[in-house]
Amino acid sequence: MTFQDIFKSSFLENVTSVSVFDMILALLLAFCIGMFIFLIYKKTFAGVMYSSNFGVTLIALTMITTLVILAVTSNIVLSLGMVGALSIVRFRTAIKEPLDIAFLFWSIAAGIVLAAGLIPLAVFGSVVIGLIILVFANKKAYYNPYMVVIRCDNHESEINASEFLKNQVQRFVVKSKTAQKDMIELNIEIRMKGDNTDFINVIANMQGVNSAVLVSYNGEYMG
């Protein structure tokens, strides 16, 4: 058997089973949808540290998934081998934000649907998902939660600072209290009535109050 006879097998038929035009069109659309997913991720990101590499990963993941599905749909034998090969892959990168998981699945799903030839579904579905994420991810509560940390010398100064703070905010909830000798620390969740934070200055200047700190946070909380 010569080298030319080897390539007269079904290998060349498999190569031409997916046309060059289909390859270019699928990868180009995958890139566009991946860019759309990346822009939605960048627009709705609300974590602590933004990673541009994760955004690039979303684009690459959409295109890679499209490439894999194109190969799978063109050859049944190849699809079985690829499923076995991908089953041994283990991803150990920690996902810091729960919404990042949705973006990863969105990229994979868009690549699968696109490579399957359901272009309208891939485009329309991505647009709908993007709009839904934009609406709900950017929906913020009117009253943002804040944490106030107050350090006092004694119980009397604690009562005075707490009563004053209650009159200045809309919501007052003590989250934790630490009592030591000659020191009391309060961690209080509040909802401010407006943007004025001068009440922290007043509390810090009260008799028996050592310090008063106001911290904004975007964690999960009950409305």
| 99-106 long-range Cβ contacts below 8 angstroms, 24+ apart | 99/44, 99/133, 99/137, 100/54, 102/133, 103/37, 103/40, 103/41, 103/58, 104/58, 104/61, 106/37, 106/58
Give the 3-state secondary structure of residue 51: coil
Its pTM stands at 0.58
pLDDT at residue 102 tops 60: yes
Model confidence pLDDT, tens digit, residues 140-162: 544 567 889 999 988 888 898 88
Task: Classify domain 145-216 by CATH architecture.
Answer: 2-Layer Sandwich (3.30)
Q: What is the pLDDT of residues 159-200, one digit of tens each?
A: 988 899 888 888 888 888 888 888 889 998 888 887 788 888
In this structure, of 40-44, 90-94, 166-170, 207-211, the range with the lowest mean pLDDT score is: 90-94
Q: What SS3 state is found at 176?
A: strand
Each domain of the chain, given as residue ranges in start order, spans 3-137, 145-216
